[in-house]
Amino acid sequence: MRRQRLKLLALIAIFAVPMIVAWAMVEWRIGIPEQRTAHGELAPEVPGLAEWPLDGGRDALKPGDWVLAFDCSRDCEMLADQWWRLHRALGREAPRVSRLRIGGEGPALPGESLAQWARTPDWQTPGRLWVLDPRGEVVLTYTGEVEARDVLDDVNRLLRMNRDNPGASELEVGQR
């Protein structure tokens, strides 16, 4: 009878101890990293791309792509070149990302879509960059003073964590 009770207590401990340890970690902040993994800011108040007051530009974006949208109302030539270089630095992941330049003068750089603000929204500031997911929702936002290296780190992390479905192309081949 004693052996059965020990087995029951061991079984209860297997499930209870991790819960107690997790609760203690959260309650007393033990073993939880304090560092940030993203350099950008979350912006839940920014609506999805479909609701942005834009003239043009959205139709040229490829469906299913991540989007780097940036406001080009000041220092446009420098910003456009900076985000073009970042796009090139993505290497083999670059085809998964599109760039949307909002505002500014001059022709579009390769792989860039142009749009203008129909009206300026209250959440927009000059030089701001937004990273949007394939559904058009804002994932991260950056001020105009952000380092391109920090944005590259974040975009690489997002692309790595959100891989394309590798089985999708195999499924299409199998259906032919």
Kindly report, residue by residue over 46-67, the tens digit of the pLDDT: 999 999 999 887 777 888 899 9
Arithmetic mean of pLDDT over the chain:
86
94 domain residue, yes or no: yes
Confidence tier at 36 by pLDDT (50, 70, 90): low
pLDDT digits (tens, 9 = 90+) for 2-27: 999 999 999 999 999 999 999 999 89
168 domain residue, yes or no: no
pLDDT of 15: 94
Total tally of structural domains belonging to the chain = 2
pLDDT digits (tens, 9 = 90+) for 111-125: 899 999 999 899 998
Do 84 and 2 share a structural domain?
Answer: no
Long-range contacts of residues 144-151, Cβ cutoff 8 Å, at least 24 apart: 144/71, 144/74, 144/75, 144/79, 146/39, 146/40, 147/39, 148/82, 148/83, 148/85, 148/86, 150/39, 150/40, 151/39, 151/40, 151/68, 151/86
pLDDT of 173: 40
Instruction: Please give the residue range of the domain that contains residue 115.
Output: 49-162
77 domain residue, yes or no: yes
Give the rounded percent of residues in the chain with a pLDDT score beyond 70: 90
Structure tokens of 145? 């003073």
Do 71 and 25 share a structural domain?
Answer: no
Do 74 and 151 share a structural domain?
Answer: yes
Give the rounded percent of residues in the chain with a pLDDT score beyond 90: 52
pLDDT over 80 (residue 72): yes
pLDDT over 60 (residue 169): no
Confidence tier at 31 by pLDDT (50, 70, 90): confident
Do 126 and 68 share a structural domain?
Answer: yes
Do 78 and 29 share a structural domain?
Answer: no
